[in-house]
């Protein structure tokens, strides 16, 4: 008991000080889920890192799955709200003219960037967590994200369809899928960069630089002319 008394008296002087139990669990869970994934992260690991009792996780969040969803909701919900608001702003500013792909992509990326920049540490962690959650096979994660993204995706598909009127709607859906994939994969895989390019360590974690290079790449892909049937078998001929 002497130990716990010491810890309590020391804690306010510390850096990350004195959030309530619920926030401390969310913060620790965010980092650990990002680092190890959902299945490989135990509640004991989380509650120990958060310096709270094991039972507190179930008391405040119900179950491990609900805790994971709470971690995602806390930042994903505002970010997607931002995205839709930004898209609305652009659309009203453009009047009845269609937006360009660049502008639409900006509306997707800027809220993500804001998250990566604003929070001192949590933001970057969250983006990586989100990218990895997008590739997680667990059904409850996929269903949760589907529901969470549904409205935003519908808005952006409509915007891209207006920006690319010469493309069939189905092709627009495909390309939007590629954009979302490249974005989430890029945000998730800082480690994978080391395989492909050898950058300075300071640059590797620079999400801003990353997205500034990704956005034009994707815009060019979106604008590319539709490959017709005769072009198609140029791609995958038998060798």
Partner DNA sequence: GCTAGTTTCAAACAAGTGTTTGAAAAACGT
Partner DNA sequence: ACGTTTTTCAAACACTTGTTTGAAACTAGC
Question: Which residues 24-43 are close enough to bind a copy of itself by CB under 8 A?
Answer: 34-37, 39-40
Closer of 61 and 134 to a copy of itself (Cβ): 134
For a copy of itself, the binding residue among 145, 159, 163, 164 (CB under 8 A) is: 145
Q: Which stretches of 95-168 are DSSP H helices? A: 101-118, 122-133, 139-163
Select from 4-12, 52-60, 70-78, 167-175 the region that touches a copy of itself (CB under 8 A): 167-175
Whether the CA torsion 41, 196, 118, 108 is positive or negative: it is negative
Chain center to CA of 110: 12
* Helix axes of 54-61 and 43-50: crossing angle, nearest 10 degrees: 100
Per CB under 7 A, which of residues 177..216 are in contact with DNA? Answer: none
Helix (H, G, I), strand (E, B) or coil at 42: coil
Per CB under 8 A, which of residues 59..98 are in contact with a copy of itself? Answer: 86, 89
Per CB under 7 A, which of residues 36..55 are in contact with DNA? Answer: 41-45, 52-55
What count of Cα atoms within 13 Å lies in the side-chain half-sphere of residue 220?
Answer: 5
**Site size with DNA, rule: CB under 7 A:** 21
Name the residues that contact DNA, by CB under 7 A: 1, 4, 20-21, 41-45, 52-60, 63-65
């Amino acid at each position: 008991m002497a130990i716990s008394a010491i810890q309590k008296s020391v804690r306010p002087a510390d850096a990350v000080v004195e959030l309530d139990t619920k926030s401390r669990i969310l913060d620790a869970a965010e980092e650990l889920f990002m680092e190890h994934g959902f299945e490989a992260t135990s509640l004991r690991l989380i509650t120990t890192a958060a310096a709270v009792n094991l039972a507190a996780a179930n008391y405040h969040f119900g179950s491990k799955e609900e805790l994971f969803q709470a971690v995602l909701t806390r930042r994903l919900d505002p970010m997607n709200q931002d995205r839709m608001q930004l898209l609305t702003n652009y659309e009203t500013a453009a009047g009845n003219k269609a937006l360009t792909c660049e502008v639409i992509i900006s509306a997707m990326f800027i809220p993500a960037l804001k998250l990566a920049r604003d929070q001192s540490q949590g933001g970057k962690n969250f983006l990586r967590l989100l990218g990895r959650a997008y590739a997680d096979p667990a059904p409850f994660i996929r269903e949760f994200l589907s529901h969470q993204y549904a409205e935003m995706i519908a808005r952006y598909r409509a915007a891209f369809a207006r920006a690319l009127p010469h493309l069939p709607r189905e092709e627009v859906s495909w390309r939007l899928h590629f954009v979302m994939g490249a974005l989430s994969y890029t945000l998730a895989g800082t480690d994978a960069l080391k395989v492909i390019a050898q950058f300075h360590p300071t640059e590797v974690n620079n999400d801003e630089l990353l997205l500034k290079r990704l956005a034009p790449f994707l815009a060019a892909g979106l604008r590319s002319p539709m490959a017709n049937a005769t072009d198609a078998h140029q791609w995958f001929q038998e060798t």
